[in-house]
Amino acid sequence: MIRTILKYLLVGMVIALVLLWLWSGGWTLIKIEVANLGNPIDILRGTSTSTYQIRLPFSPSVPQGPDISGLVARGDSMSDGGSSDGTQISGTASGSGAPSIYQGEVTLAAAHAGSSDPAHEYVVIESTAGGPIDISGWTLQSMLTGKREVLPEAAQPLVAGAINRVAPVVLSPRQVAIVTTGTSPVGASFQENICTGYLAQEQNFDPSLQNACPSPLDSVPESLPADQTYGANCFDYMRTIPQCEYVTQVPASLSANCRALIASEFSYNGCVSDNQHRTDFALGEWRLYLGSGIELWDNAHDIIRLTDSSGRVVDAVSY
Over residues 162-180, the pLDDT tens digits come to 999 999 999 999 999 999 9
Q: What is the model's pLDDT at position 79?
A: 32
Among 49-53, 62-66, 141-145, top mean pLDDT goes to 141-145
Length of the chain in terms of residues written: 319
Average pLDDT over residues 72-83: 37
Average pLDDT over residues 146-156: 95
**What CA–CA distance (Å, rounded) separates 275 from 282?**
10
Q: Residue ranges per domain, the chain?
A: 2-45, 78-194+281-318
Give the bridge partners for 93, in sequence order. none
Average pLDDT over residues 259-288: 94
Res. 72: pLDDT tops 80: no
- AA identity, residue 199: L
Identify the residue with better confidence: 44 or 226.
226
Average pLDDT over residues 50-66: 44
Give the bridge partners for 179, in sequence order. 123, 288
pTM reported for the whole predicted model:
0.70
- Long-range residue pairs from 215-218, CB within 8 A, at least 24 positions apart, any chain: 215/243, 216/265, 216/266, 216/270, 216/271, 216/274
At residue 75 the predicted structure's pLDDT band, cuts being 50, 70 and 90, is very low
Mean pLDDT score across all residues of the chain? 81
At residue 97 the predicted structure's pLDDT band, cuts being 50, 70 and 90, is low
Res. 289: pLDDT tops 90: yes
Res. 52: pLDDT tops 80: no
Rg (CA), the chain: 32
**What CA–CA distance (Å, rounded) separates 153 from 179?**
12
Nearest to 318 by CA among 62, 90, 95, 76: 90
Nearest to 307 by CA among 100, 127, 112: 100
At residue 65 the predicted structure's pLDDT band, cuts being 50, 70 and 90, is very low
Average pLDDT over residues 185-211: 94
**What CA–CA distance (Å, rounded) separates 67 from 69?**
6
Fold held by 78-194+281-318? Immunoglobulin-like (2.60.40)
